[in-house]
């Protein structure tokens, strides 16, 4: 039955007579899981060789209960986006960077990684097979989630004997529930996201499991998310649960320096380069919470959150608001516009960041 569903789906996806777009209410997109048609699976032998990658119908995968990823968290995730251009064609944004970051994370977790070519091929095939799920121009994008997991069974703590690389996709709109409205952050002093020598600078799955408790507490108090401080001094700003943070003061843009506990975001790096190209002075350096509270504007960056303006930060019971009437600051708006224009193919991509499918 799986095989015949697959054949029907493939025939639908590649049939030139089929509509380019899924029958879906594109105006209702948020950041929720919407099942699409295909996912990509590739396994890796104990010799560390990835082979036989293939598209299969999207759905559950079988795992041994002793799989290293289930017991010891030996897993990585990536996130990137595909946008539909105004002419209907599809653009990937900086997929090489995700392939390289997955390799770095895999080295840290003693996992073999797919080559950059294998990663790119898998991403392209998965997007093309699901191309009718890439939202219309201006209505959102297709979020792509590559994963690398220790799928082999093992009892003692050690690297898994086998690995699986997976790519699935999902159409998405804005990450935060109020769309582009500035978000409200609660500073966290009790919990920390990462520590020196830990895994804060790779996209390992455990980094996300460990933030949901503080996140739930913040949401119960009406905040959008949590702002983490450094684990040694509880004073320097690190990042938010799923994104990097920037501040603007007197037209200088600053973001915390990557010192090993902060995720090296691809949007972070892109926003730094775009800001420099627009003539801003950009500094990567330690930023204290007090300095952040005194900024003119604050915004977050990430593949999921894009460029999200911050409307308020609450620290030790004091709420500091940025901007007037809950409006995004001018610099945040300018960077959001410049960044998304490249992603959507609206402005010329002089950096060579996009890959047309």
3-class secondary structure per residue, 48-108: CCEEEEEEEECCCCCCCCCEHHHHHCCEEECCEEEEECCCCCEEEECHHHHHHHHHHHHHH
**Residue whose CB is less far from ligand COI, 79 or 161:** 79
In whole angstroms, what is the distance from residue 53 CA to residue 40 CA?
7
Find the catalytic residue in 131, 203, 219, 344: 203
Q: Is 270 in the site for ligand COI (CB under 6 A)?
A: no
Residue 237 and residue 256 in contact, taking contact as beta carbons nearer than 8 Å: yes
In whole angstroms, what is the distance from residue 351 CA to residue 332 CA?
20
In whole angstroms, what is the distance from residue 37 CA to residue 356 CA?
21
Q: Is 304 in the site for ligand COI (CB under 6 A)?
A: yes
The interface region with ligand COI, picked from 122-130, 209-217, 302-310, 324-332 by CB under 6 A, is 302-310
Q: Is 242 in the site for ligand COI (CB under 6 A)?
A: yes
Q: Is 6 in the site for ligand COI (CB under 6 A)?
A: no
255 strand-pairing partners: 284
**Residue whose CB is less far from ligand COI, 130 or 147:** 147
Q: Is 252 in the site for ligand COI (CB under 6 A)?
A: no
**Residue whose CB is less far from ligand COI, 32 or 281:** 32
Q: Is 261 in the site for ligand COI (CB under 6 A)?
A: no
Q: How far is CA 8 from CA 2, 19, 152, 352, in A?
A: 10, 15, 31, 36
Q: Is 98 in the site for ligand COI (CB under 6 A)?
A: no
| Least distance between ligand COI and beta carbon 105 (Å) | 12
**Residue whose CB is less far from ligand COI, 74 or 308:** 308
Is 219 catalytic? The answer is no
Residues that bind ligand COI (CB under 6 A): 79, 208, 242, 302-304
What residues are labeled active site? Answer: 203
């Amino acid at each position: 039955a799986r095989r015949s569903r697959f054949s029907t789906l493939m025939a639908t996806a590649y049939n030139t007579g089929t509509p380019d777009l899924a029958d879906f209410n594109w105006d209702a997109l948020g950041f929720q899981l919407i099942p699409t048609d295909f996912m990509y699976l590739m396994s890796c032998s104990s010799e560390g060789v990835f082979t036989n990658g293939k598209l299969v119908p999207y759905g559950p995968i079988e795992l041994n209960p002793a799989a290293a990823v289930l017991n010891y968290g030996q897993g990585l995730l990536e996130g990137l986006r595909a946008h539909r251009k105004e002419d209907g064609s599809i653009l990937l944004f900086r997929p090489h960077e995700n392939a390289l970051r997955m390799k770095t994370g895999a080295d840290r977790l003693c996992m073999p990684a797919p080559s950059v070519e294998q990663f790119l091929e898998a991403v392209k095939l998965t997007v093309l097979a699901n191309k009718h799920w890439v939202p219309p121009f201006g209505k959102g994008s297709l979020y792509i989630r590559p994963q690398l997991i220790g799928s082999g069974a093992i009892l003692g703590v050690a690297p898994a004997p086998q690995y699986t690389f997976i790519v699935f996709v999902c159409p998405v709109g804005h990450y935060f529930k109020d769309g582009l409205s500035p978000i409200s952050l609660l500073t966290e002093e009790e919990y920390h996201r990462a520590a020196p020598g830990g895994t804060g600078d790779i996209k390992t799955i455990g980094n996300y499991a460990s933030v949901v408790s503080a996140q739930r507490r913040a949401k119960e108090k009406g905040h959008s998310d949590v702002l983490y401080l450094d684990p040694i001094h509880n004073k320097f700003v690190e990042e938010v649960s799923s994104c990097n943070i920037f501040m603007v003061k007197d037209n200088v843009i600053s973001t915390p320096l990557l010192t090993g506990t902060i995720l090296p975001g691809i949007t972070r790096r892109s926003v730094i380069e775009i800001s420099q190209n627009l003539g801003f002075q950009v500094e990567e350096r330690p930023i204290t919470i007090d300095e952040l509270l005194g900024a003119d504007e604050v915004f977050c960056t990430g593949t999921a959150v894009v460029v999200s303006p911050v409307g308020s930060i609450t620290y030790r019971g004091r709420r500091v608001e940025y901007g007037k009437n809950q409006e995004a600051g001018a610099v945040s708006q300018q960077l959001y516009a410049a960044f998304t224009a490249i992603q959507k193919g609206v402005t010329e991509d002089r950096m060579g960041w996009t890959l047309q499918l």
